[in-house]
Structure 1
Amino acid sequence: MSTLNIRKITPTFGAEITGIDLNQPLTPEQEADIVSAIAEYGVCVYPNTGLTDQTHIWFSRMFGNLWTIGGQGTRLSRFDYPHLFEAGNLTPEGGISTDEMARKRRAGDRLWHTDSSFTKERTTYSLLLAHEVPAEGGETGFADMRGAYGALPQAMKDRIEHLEAEHSYLYSRSLAGFPVTEEEVENGMIARHKLVHTHPGSGRKSLYIASHALRITGMAKEEGRALIKELLDFGTQPQFTFNHYWKPGDLVIWDNFCTMHRGGEYDDIHHRRDMRRTTVMAYPPPPVVMDPRFKDRFDPAQFEAMVDA
């Protein structure tokens, strides 16, 4: 019998989960139930968790090795731990960020996307914790890519079965109005992934698309972008989506391999939105040989030092 109290958000996608304290050590049975829930529902909402930065990271490690935030140029972090990603509108000093370039960069989060699809390594789960939320707006929309794939006409399934898309972070920022040239996009990081893959948690086929998708490999640019738009429009119809309206203490976990998400509009000049995310890496831990740029993302000493502090 499951240790979790599960309320479905839609008949087939998303669940609110209660009845478990994520701040406490979990039994193997509880861990297995949590992993099974995310595999089944794609998005799991844990309300009123009471998680701190440290317990947020501690719980996240259950799913695997965490992406650590480094290599962000001159951008500073307001967090003590490199495992936390700033997903709100605050400055390193904790005030509201009114910098126009930062606001334009954040605007890309309003587009439907999949976290880290623009990296070769990719990420499996994102775990977003709300600390402060605006008075209105700022919701997060989620889209079911397994359900969307299953509902595609067979002719479309046949058409896309063996296609690959190339993903770029700079491309999605440009779509949202961030000043990036096409040359900068082409010279930046670009990762190629199958347009359709088998979701490892459930064995079901899923679309793997996002606003980061720059083009379809081997297809004329405009034809490929038209196909990407068609799939994005199809997969974000109301029957495949729901919105989560945040309250402080909410933790939402989503599986990047079978979902998309986007942020909702809010008054980011006058209202604080303090959201902190951990992100689980998709590839296995050492001794696998990794790109040296990312070696710190699997440094277990960082985590052990945090726990021992």
Structure 2
Amino acid sequence: MWEVLVPLDIEPVLPNFGAECSGLDLTGPLSPEDIKAITDAMDRYGVCIYRNTGLTDAQHVRFSRNFGYLEKVPVKEGQKLRLPFRELFDASNLTLEGNITRDPRAIEYRKGDRLWHTDSAFMRKRTSYSLLLAHEVPRKGGATYFADTRSAYEDLPQTMKERLEGLVGVNSLWWSRKLAGADIAEEEIDRSFKAKHPLVHNHRGSGRKALFIAAHTMDIEGMPHEEGRALIRELIEHCTQPQYTFRIHYRPGDLVIWDNLCSMHRGGEFDYENEKRDMRRTTVREGTEPHTMDEPEDDPFTELFAHIPRTVDFAGRARSSRSR
């Protein structure tokens, strides 16, 4: 079941989680056998690292389309983007001009990335793969840490597995930003959009059960706030024990692919005010077909960010909270 096709060379990081992969040129067209080798490695290891890929922005987007529909960054009329494709999410600390940002709201917003999270858990349509490409990295720090939510689930006591059966998490982007220190009233979060997802699900690629929970999970449906949030903290602490985690240090050109449906991750600290970190991410929607270009009348990120709390509105995308 877990045999990965040649020509992909694989060096596992942990026995069943994380792998350094090589042997394929990702900049050009790939055969169905190549794509199967990549997805087989992802199904087994959850996180795969490809060093010194040489990918351009256009090649990054084209390669990512092999795995499904790519979400698009939110836009507002008249707003400029730093990157040339809406499929590229800007995970940097840079302004439109490529300088280090000094905007306190942008800095505050990005602090949430240093909490353990899964990309887009706050959306109704979940993310499967995230593909993060390093363009410029700090001299020290700036790693990404990953946690294995399949092995962590399997190691839970049976009593906890039974307790989690059927429970549903309530997820909000603004909750994780509040946890990271943003000044957002909980009443405002309660009025904003929230997505509901089961805390435990069957990971399609491997057939193994996995936890789906992290910093965006603010409550458990039907459970009092205090009890639910205590359980959320307990599960995150369990998943992020050393035996389930590792970190990746980047060099320019490195690409990391992770499966949000069987992992969680967080960004590492670096000198945010003095060191540039230019990272660009594509995001694949769960359950969509390879090479999908468009989904009609569907732009959920723009809809979500049309109602961004004013305290973290570093791009001028939102209405004033007083006008609601």
Q: TM-score normalised to the size of structure 2?
A: 0.88
Give the partner amino acid of 1:36: D
Partner of 2:10: 6
Partner of 1:263: 267
Report the CA distance between 1:30 and its aligned residue: 0.8
Q: How does 1:180-199 map to 2 (within 5 A)?
A: 180-199=184-203
* 2:72 and 2:301 in contact (8 A); partners too: no
Aligned length: 296
Aligned to 2:279, the other structure's residue is in SS state strand
Give the alignment partner of residue 202 of structure 1, picking from 198, 203, 206. 206
Question: Could you tell me how far apart the structure 1 residues matched to 2:250 and 2:301 are?
Answer: 34
Partner of 1:225: 229
| 1:115 and 2:86 correspond | no
Partner of 1:44: 48
User: How many percent identity over aligned positions?
Assistant: 52
Report the CA distance between 1:84 and its aligned residue: 0.4
In structure 2, the CA distance between the partners of 1:41 and 1:74, relative to structure 1 (3 Å rule), is farther
* 1:121 and 1:283 in contact (8 A); partners too: no
Give the alignment partner of residue 240 of structure 1, picking from 241, 244, 263. 244
Q: Deviations over 1:240-269 (max 9, x none)?
A: 000001111110000010000000001110
Report the CA distance between 1:87 and its aligned residue: 0.4
Report the CA distance between 1:71 and its aligned residue: 3.6
Aligned to 2:272, the other structure's residue is in SS state coil
In structure 2, the CA distance between the partners of 1:291 and 1:175, relative to structure 1 (3 Å rule), is farther
Report the CA distance between 1:73 and its aligned residue: 8.2
Report the CA distance between 1:68 and its aligned residue: 0.9
The runs of 5 or more residues in structure 1 that have no matched partner are: 298-309
Partner of 2:128: 124
Question: Could you tell me how far apart the structure 1 residues matched to 2:257 and 2:215 are?
Answer: 20
Q: TM-score normalised to the size of structure 1?
A: 0.92
Aligned to 1:278, the other structure's residue is in SS state strand
The runs of 5 or more residues in structure 2 that have no matched partner are: 304-324
Report the CA distance between 1:293 and its aligned residue: 4.2
Report the CA distance between 1:289 and its aligned residue: 8.6
* 2:73 and 2:302 in contact (8 A); partners too: no
Report the CA distance between 1:72 and its aligned residue: 6.1
Question: Could you tell me how far apart the structure 1 residues matched to 2:298 and 2:8 are?
Answer: 40
In structure 2, the CA distance between the partners of 1:47 and 1:283, relative to structure 1 (3 Å rule), is same
Partner of 1:17: 21
In structure 2, the CA distance between the partners of 1:211 and 1:73, relative to structure 1 (3 Å rule), is farther
Partner of 1:145: 149
